[in-house]
Amino acid sequence: MTLNMMRERKRFDDEHQDSFIVVHPLDDVQEEKVDTAGVGPLRLTTSVKLSLMALRGYLILMTLLLLYHVMDLSGLFRQWKW
């Protein structure tokens, strides 16, 4: 932050006591990165594992329904008599 920006901010803070300054993340000071090299895999509880398996099943089912709908729109099933 330059000296001129610090003066402007001080003057703004004095005039507007009940307001906040919004700083865009690209204009803000960069944070130090966390080193995750030594972190092991996460341990999942049973409820989390079941939730992830249910989500996986739901996504597979929705993908199959989408494929069926696309094939139906393409006319692939019109030639078959059910």
Q: Domain locations in the chain? A: 44-82
Q: Report how far residue 13's alpha carbon sits from residue 21's, in angstroms, rounded to the nearest whole number.
A: 9
**pLDDT per residue over 21-60, tens digit each?**
778 888 888 888 888 888 888 899 999 999 999 999 999 9
Q: Are 12 and 23 in contact (CB under 8 A)?
A: no
Predicted local distance difference test score (pLDDT) of residue 6: 59
How many residues are there in the chain? 82
What does pTM read for this prediction? 0.52
Give the tokens for residue 73. 């729109």
Q: How confident is the model at residue 4 (pLDDT cuts 50, 70, 90)?
A: low
- Could you give the C-alpha distances from 44 to 21, 47, 69, in angstroms and in order? 40, 8, 35
pLDDT at residue 16 above 70?
A: no
CB burial readout 13-23, b (16+ within 10 A) else e = eeeeeeeeeee
